[in-house]
Amino acid sequence: MTDKRPLRSAQWFGTTDKNGFMYRSWMKNQGIPDHEFHGKPIIGICNTWSELTPCNAHFRKIAEHVKKGVLEAGGFPVEFPVFSSGESNLRPTAMLTRNLASMDVEESIRGNPVDAVVLLTGCDKTTPALLMGAASCDVPAIVVTGGPMLNGKHNGRDIGAGTIVWQMHEAYKGGLISLDEFLSAEAGMSRSAGTCNTMGTASTMACMAEALGTSLPHNAAIPAVDARRYVLAHLSGMRIVEMVREDLRLSRVLTRQAFENAIRVNAAIGGSTNAVIHLKAIAGRIGVELELDDWTRIGRGMPTLVDLQPSGRFLMEEFYYAGGLPAVIRRLGEHDLLPHPDALTVNGRSLWENCAQAPIYGTDEVIRTLDNPLRADGGICVLRGNLAPAGAVLKPSAATPALMTHRGRAVVFEDFDDYKARIADPELDVDETCVLVMKNCGPKGYPGMAEVGNMGLPPKVLAKGITDMVRISDARMSGTAYGTVVLHVAPEAAAGGPLAAVRNGDMIELDCNAGRLHLDIDDEELARRLADWQPPHGLRWDGGYRRLYVDHVLQADQGCDFDFLVGCRGADVPRHSH
């Protein structure tokens, strides 16, 4: 199917007046011949390459392969940089700049002569940021992620990026391993280009992009350094040119049905809790209503099939070799567990057409069968109650089953600094039956909502060999982390949510089966405490982007987007400036 409508880019390059002269002339300083400007779809390659985002540091090579595909299909590729929110280096947290990056993407697309975009994403926040920005423009777009790192190696065994840090640091704090032993794993953890190789947030969001239909099949799992990653980049470059001709814009792919498929797939892969926030934000940009309760309705109780760390044993390399995401989707579809098999994907075929014949390799250990899942009750557990009126989440596959119904005494930390100052204090009145509560780490309280929700346990508890306790906060948690950790409590403490009213010694009830999170004090007492509440000192930042962030960020249940960014504003061409 071809479309003869004028190209968007023709409004820059397609005229013989003064403006057309100027737009073409300056571009020609790059050695571009005149015929390139007449009738070829112009494909923006939106690149989050940065040496400060090590997970995306190989993207120049990926971009070159995308360009080859674009050229082969008769398009004109133009690569441009956008803000790269790298998880490992950016302080206080890369989440602080997800929305900034999305604004960069949106305005770069709308203001420039591009007919479609290839989104080069990898590290956690880059995938949602680029999808959010492109969705607000509703142009044809295809996601190419950078792929996961090869398996980490240490002491003769495979180790997972991120997850091993949490595990070994706890062991070191508990006195079970030496500092030398802890540090010796450093070089072996990250030994190739690519993103974290666990089912952390980067892998989860790559799977979400594929499940949503915004990337070609297998995009999520091909290792970063596997030649097939470059083939996929090439094919994506070819395909985006056809998408322009078919006018296959994001709004035809990112439908309500696509998000429901993604929620189901997230359960099957044991995906990160961060997906709850990012899918809500992406949906908001394209005008799809998505609520926290959709995660209960569509995802809760779904078996987790993919046996990857942090919930399970393997890493992304094995996941790809076992068949990758198409194999998981095939397993779901064969049991009528794919809500919308007909959802359209960027290759013009339905999700089910792409996956129905997907090969599944090996012995069903990595991608397990429905009758032998990693966890029978995967998905995301959404919790509500007087402690989280707008909701909170917990990842059952990463939790200790025995702790998912628990009543315990609150040990309260007013913020992350307070936690760090006191958690190792031998005098801290805490044991493994307690519930660790941390306040003021939500979107406004710790601007960006840092991944500190998986508070490390007190050393005196670790020393007993205990590895998990119930923890509750308004923070997020790294997708590589694990534990019985209640996250995203909304409204957050810094916005005056009930979490702010919890005091040492209060009893807290967690009941994952009932979806309940309850502070065991009477309503009058809770109201009294909240009436006395004062915003934490220093909440309003003096200026700059951070001030904008605190003033406009929405709560976790609303996806932490800015209130003024929600919605699709299209890609109407702005007027000339000359």
Interface with ligand FES by CB under 6 A: which residues?
A: 55, 87-88, 123-124, 195-196, 200, 202
* Nearest CA among 76, 347, 59, 65 for reference residue 234: 65
Q: Which whole-number Å values give the CA distances from 245 to 1, 113, 160, 238, in the listed order?
A: 8, 16, 42, 12
Q: Indicate the residue among 68 and 191 with the shorter CB distance to ligand FES.
A: 191
Considering the complex, what minimum distance in angstroms separates the CB of residue 162 from ligand FES?
Answer: 6
Peptide bond into 148 cis (omega under 30): no
Considering the complex, what minimum distance in angstroms separates the CB of residue 267 from ligand FES?
Answer: 21
* Nearest CA among 415, 81, 46 for reference residue 236: 46
Q: Which whole-number Å values give the CA distances from 30 to 37, 66, 70, in the listed order?
A: 13, 19, 18
Peptide bond into 92 cis (omega under 30): yes
Report d(CA 66, CA 166) in Å as an integer: 36
Considering the complex, what minimum distance in angstroms separates the CB of residue 237 from ligand FES?
Answer: 23
* H-only helix segments in 271-323: 274-286, 292-294, 316-321
Q: Indicate the residue among 9 and 273 with the shorter CB distance to ligand FES.
A: 273
Considering the complex, what minimum distance in angstroms separates the CB of residue 81 from ligand FES?
Answer: 18
Considering the complex, what minimum distance in angstroms separates the CB of residue 102 from ligand FES?
Answer: 17
Judge contact between 570 and 8, C-beta under 8 A.
no
Q: Indicate the residue among 136 and 201 with the shorter CB distance to ligand FES.
A: 201
Considering the complex, what minimum distance in angstroms separates the CB of residue 171 from ligand FES?
Answer: 21
Report d(CA 374, CA 319) in Å as an integer: 14
Amino acid occupying residue 207: C
Q: For residue 122, give both structure tokens.
A: 């990898």
Considering the complex, what minimum distance in angstroms separates the CB of residue 124 from ligand FES?
Answer: 5
Q: Indicate the residue among 163 and 555 with the shorter CB distance to ligand FES.
A: 163
Q: Indicate the residue among 195 and 214 with the shorter CB distance to ligand FES.
A: 195
Q: Indicate the residue among 347 and 478 with the shorter CB distance to ligand FES.
A: 478
* Nearest CA among 43, 23, 381, 347 for reference residue 215: 347
Report d(CA 16, CA 384) in Å as an integer: 62
Q: Indicate the residue among 165 and 565 with the shorter CB distance to ligand FES.
A: 165
Helix (H) or strand (E) holding 551: helix 544-552
Q: Indicate the residue among 98 and 300 with the shorter CB distance to ligand FES.
A: 98
Report d(CA 240, CA 116) in Å as an integer: 7
Q: How far is CA 255 from the centre of its chain?
A: 18
| 247 Cβ contact partners less than 8 Å away, ≥ 6 residues apart | 3, 5, 140
Identify the DSSP state of 473: E
Q: Indicate the residue among 55 and 137 with the shorter CB distance to ligand FES.
A: 55
Considering the complex, what minimum distance in angstroms separates the CB of residue 126 from ligand FES?
Answer: 8
Q: Indicate the residue among 124 and 158 with the shorter CB distance to ligand FES.
A: 124
Considering the complex, what minimum distance in angstroms separates the CB of residue 241 from ligand FES?
Answer: 29
Sign of CA dihedral 207, 213, 215, 219: positive
Considering the complex, what minimum distance in angstroms separates the CB of residue 391 from ligand FES?
Answer: 26
